[in-house]
Structure 1
Amino acid sequence: MKKIISSIFIILELFLLNSCTTTKKHFQPADVIDPLPRGKKSWTYEVDKSMKSLINPPEKISYFSKTLLNKAEKKFGKELLPGRILTWSTDLGVASGVLEMYIEKGAAKILKPRLIYLIRMQVSYYVSCPFAIDVNSWQYKDYKITPEEIQGLQCKKKLSKISSFSKRELTALRYSRALSKTPVSFDGKLLGDVRRLFSPEEIVAISTPMSSS
């Protein structure tokens, strides 16, 4: 089994290396390739309400990208619009998918699934990303995340007032918030708590799921 998995990754790496040597393409603006709905010529409020994103996914997706996309959508149980949009560039679409897969599998070996899910939800709410909130929150019941805990993640209730969070969960969530600020901002007590409650490997694992949230 390990040999099969290794072979798959070798094929993926060869594909990525080969795809990065693409020939120069003829430039065509998005307005030509992906016209606005109902013949509109400019981006209006009506267009903004009808469009799910700045551009639509391509009508034709390469077999390789489609295979990876179908696998991801089967896992999440829904259409992944950003993933489909990324297939405009096979290189970037495949790279994003492989990165997400490595991060998820790596973090899962170190942290408990509930903690990973809480971190993903926290960052999604904290940066107010609708897509990330949808993808990272819809299975919250599977991880025994309560409505009160969700209120805490949404900043509607102080995290410290929610008794169901363990000390490690509470510290990881506070750390996630600090990392999500612009500019990033920490206080000595928080960093001391992180070092006291988590190993170096766990600290890395707490940070990496946020990069793909």
Structure 2
Amino acid sequence: MSQEKGKGLPTVWRIEKLGDVCDFLDSRRVPLNEAERAKRIAGKKPSELYPYYGANGQIGWIDGYLFDEPLVLLAEDGGFFGSPSRSIAYTISGKTWVNNHAHVLRPKDGIDIHFLAFALSIRPDVGDMVMGNTRPKLNQRIAKEIPVPFPSLSEQKRIAAILAEQLAAVERARKAAQEQLNEIENLPASLLRQAFSGSPLEMHE
């Protein structure tokens, strides 16, 4: 493992190339277009279907699975490369199917899967590594060269747990704000319905 130090990182952290800390399971991916998936799932019960994943998350369902373990998916093409706020990596678990628009990563020993996903998630620098203009592509050769900072395994788990809780709190706040916004947006229509339904209107100062 590399012992190269990253600028600004604690001295006990190390920088590793992604290809040195993960197995790439890309050869097991199978792409299916929307028409093929629709044909295969027609008439099937929800309990017979499995998530079908692409570059940026689940995009549908399918009647079979290719993987059955916790994994990290990293966008290969169609990802938000170069974005300072949009994720290019996420975790999956259980029985799943992945198409050829996402790299499939299995962390090696000593690497926490959730820490790895967080470390890869927001990486504007990867935008400088992709190839192509119309549809940027992060091929496997380049993906394996992505530098990733790592502390000890125990510290990885601690940081990942804190981030998971903080992001969950952010998501709860976002949902609450969205619900309030929906109520505000619906208020004019509600007032108009009340005014023309014979219900008394009250003035609020």
- The alignment's TM-score, normalised by the length of structure 2, stands at 0.27
Of structures 1 and 2, the one scoring higher in RCO (CA 8 A, sep 6+) is: 2
**Structure whose residues are more often helix by fraction:** 1
- The alignment's TM-score, normalised by the length of structure 1, stands at 0.26
